[in-house]
Structure 1
Amino acid sequence: MTYDIAVHGTVAEGFEGVREEFAAVLAEETAEPGAQLAAYLDGRPVVDLWAGDGITGDALTAVFSSTKGAAHLVVALLVQDGVLDLDRRITAYWPEFTGGGKERLTLRDVLAHSAGLIGADDGFTLDELADDRLIAARLAGQRPHWEPGTAFGYHALTIGALTGEVVRRVTGRSVQELFEERVRAPYGLGFHLGLPEALEPRYVPIRPLVPTPEQLAELQANDAGPDSLTAIAFSAGAKPPIDLVELVNSRTTRALSPASVGGVANARGLAGMYAAAVGGLDGAAPLLKPETLAEFGRPHLLGTDLVTGTVDGFGFGLGFERVRQSYPFLGEGSIGHAGAAGSQSFADPVNKVAYGYTRRTWAYPGGAAPENARLAQAVIRAVEAVR
Structure 2
Amino acid sequence: MTDRAQEIAARVEAFVRSEIIPYEKDPRFDVHGHGPSEEMVMEMRDKARAAGVLTPHILPDGTHLSQRETAIVLIKSGLSPLGPVACNTMAPDEGNMYLLGHVGNDEQKARFLQPMREGKARSAFFMTEPAADGGAGSDPSMMKTSCRLDGDHWVINGRKAFITGAQGARVGIVMAKSEDGACLFLVDLPDPAIRVERVLDTIDSSMPGGHAVIAIDDLRVPVGQMLGASGEGFKYAQVRLSPARLSHCMRWLGCCLRAQEIATAYACTRQAFGKPLIDHEGVGFMLAENRIALRQCELMIDWCASVLDTGSLGTEESSMTKVAVSEQLMKIADNCVQVLGGTGVSGDTVVEQIFREIRAFRIYDGPTEVHKWSLAKTIKRNFAREQAE
Q: Which TM-score band (shorter chain)?
A: under 0.3
* TM-score with structure 1 setting the length: 0.22
- Higher-Rg structure is 2
Q: Higher relative contact order by CA 8 Å / sep ≥ 6: 1 or 2?
A: 1
More helix by share: 2
Q: Normalising by structure 2, report the TM-score.
A: 0.22
